[in-house]
């Protein structure tokens, strides 16, 4: 319940940020702050609906992930089937991403519409216990409906950044001449994207901790996931993945390095995740 309250609160904050930017834009171009705020709230609803309906298809296409059958990836299907039975969950579709960077993600709007995807590099790097730990983590995201929550958060954060840029350029190339109004718009344009990114980070990091704990309990082996995380962090630092850092929240570890990906990480520090898993192992007596 605590995670849900925190997540709903953070989404409320993001919606408020989006409305605030709309309020500023409305004041510039329509001389009506309320119309701008309501228009941008409506746009936020549309964006969330698109994310809800099509996030899976968009993500799979972006990373050229191929859905695989049991005959094409028997070990992968066997491990996930075992996790699904232990957790009393529907079997998701499985996909393989043609990347040598070891990583994994889950996508889809609910447990009946989920896909768990792994890269070729992940299959080559981890032993079976470690692979089971990673897949359990992704199944935990599915069970907790994190894949939808984090996709919507990322979409909203991107929309806020776009709207803020729109407001910023509006102050440069037209709009109101009132100095106080321009100052408000400039402030919103600068601070709103940063605030949205920080909120997205808060949502993503809390869900990662929860998925680690849930996945470890599913298979009864927190240390397997801890070992996998250490291997994945090291490998992703040596061989970052090509793609947009705005999608970093999907993966079990951050696959991108440098620039904004390193400054505003959507993942908790690996050392802290491992520490929590090792504490869970000693507390529950898994050896």
What does DSSP assign to residue 264? Answer: S
165 token code pair: 């840029």
- Which residues, at least 6 apart from 246, have a Cβ–Cβ distance to it below 8 Å? 154, 157, 158
Asked if 216 contacts 225 with a C-beta cutoff of 8 angstroms, the reply is yes
Count Cα neighbours of 273 within 13 Å in the Cβ-side half-sphere: 28
Nearest one of 122, 73, 79 to 99, comparing CA atoms:
122
Cβ(14)–Cβ(196) below 8 Å = yes
Catalytic residue among 93, 132, 138, 281: 138
132 is catalytic: no
Give the β-pairing of 66-68 and 104-107: unpaired
Distances (CA, A) of 267 to 114, 137, 201, 246: 22, 14, 7, 12
The Cα 247–Cα 138 span in angstroms is 15
- Furthest C-alpha separation in the chain: 69
Which of 82, 86, 88, 148 has its CA nearest to residue 115?
Answer: 148
Tell me the catalytic residues.
Answer: 138
């Amino acid at each position: 319940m605590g995670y849900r309250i925190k997540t709903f609160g953070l989404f409320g904050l993001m919606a408020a940020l989006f409305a605030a930017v709309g309020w500023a834009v409305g004041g510039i171009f329509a001389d009506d702050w309320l119309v701008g705020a309501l228009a941008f709230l409506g746009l936020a609803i549309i964006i969330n609906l698109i994310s809800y309906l099509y996030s899976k298809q968009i993500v799979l296409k972006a990373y050229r992930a191929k859905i695989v059958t049991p005959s094409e990836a028997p070990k992968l299907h066997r491990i996930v089937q075992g996790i699904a039975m232990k957790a009393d969950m529907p079997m998701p579709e499985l996909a393989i991403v043609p990347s040598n960077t070891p990583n994994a993600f889950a996508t889809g709007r609910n447990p009946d519409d989920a896909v768990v995807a792994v890269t070729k590099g992940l299959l080559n790097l981890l032993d079976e216990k470690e692979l089971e730990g990673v897949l359990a983590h992704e199944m935990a995201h599915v069970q907790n409906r994190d894949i939808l929550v984090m996709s919507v958060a990322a979409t909203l954060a991107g929309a806020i950044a776009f709207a803020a840029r729109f407001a910023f350029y509006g102050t440069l190339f037209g709009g109101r001449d009132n100095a106080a109004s321009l100052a408000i718009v400039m402030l919103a344009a600068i601070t709103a994207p940063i605030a949205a990114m920080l909120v997205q980070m808060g949502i993503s990091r809390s869900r990662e901790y929860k998925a680690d704990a849930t996945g470890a309990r599913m298979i009864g082996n927190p240390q397997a996931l801890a070992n996998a995380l250490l291997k994945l962090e090291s490998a992703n630092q040596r061989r970052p993945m090509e793609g947009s850092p705005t999608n970093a929240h999907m993966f079990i570890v951050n696959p991108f390095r440098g620039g904004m990906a390193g400054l505003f990480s959507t993942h908790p520090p690996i050392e802290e995740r491992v520490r929590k898993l090792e504490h869970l192992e000693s507390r529950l007596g898994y050896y």
